[in-house]
Amino acid sequence: MPSLKGPFIMLNEQLVQQLNIEEGNLVNLHIEKDNSEFGKPICEEFEAINLGHKSVFEHFKRFTPSKQQTYFTC
C-alpha cells in the first residue's frame, strides 16, 4: 500500500498486541506467495459437504473469490 513515506503493510490490532509491536519499532517480515486454491484454509465441514456433492461445489466455484471466502470461513 503506497504512502508519502513509501510502501507499508497494515496490521490488525490483535496481531499488533500479540506481537507486542509499538509504533516506530522495526520488524522483520517473511512474505511468501499463497498457492492455495481459495487463498485460505478450508474448514473440514465445508470440504466434507463439497466432496460428497459435486454439483454444490460446481455452483460454489462460479462465485467471485471474495464471495467464496465468506462461505467456508469456520
Is 55 domain-assigned? yes
Is 25 domain-assigned? yes
**Smallest Cα–Cα separation from 72: which of 52, 21, 49?**
49
pLDDT band at 48 (very low <50, low <70, confident <90, very high): confident
Is 2 domain-assigned? no
Residues 6+ apart with CB under 8 A from 19: 27
Is 17 domain-assigned? yes
Residues 5-39: tens digit of each pLDDT: 887 888 889 999 999 999 888 888 888 887 777 77
**Smallest Cα–Cα separation from 68: which of 45, 42, 44?**
42
Is 8 domain-assigned? no
Supply the pTM of this predicted model: 0.42
Q: Within 10 Å of residue 43's Cβ, how many Cβ atoms?
A: 12
Range of the domain at 20: 13-71
Number of domains within the chain: 1
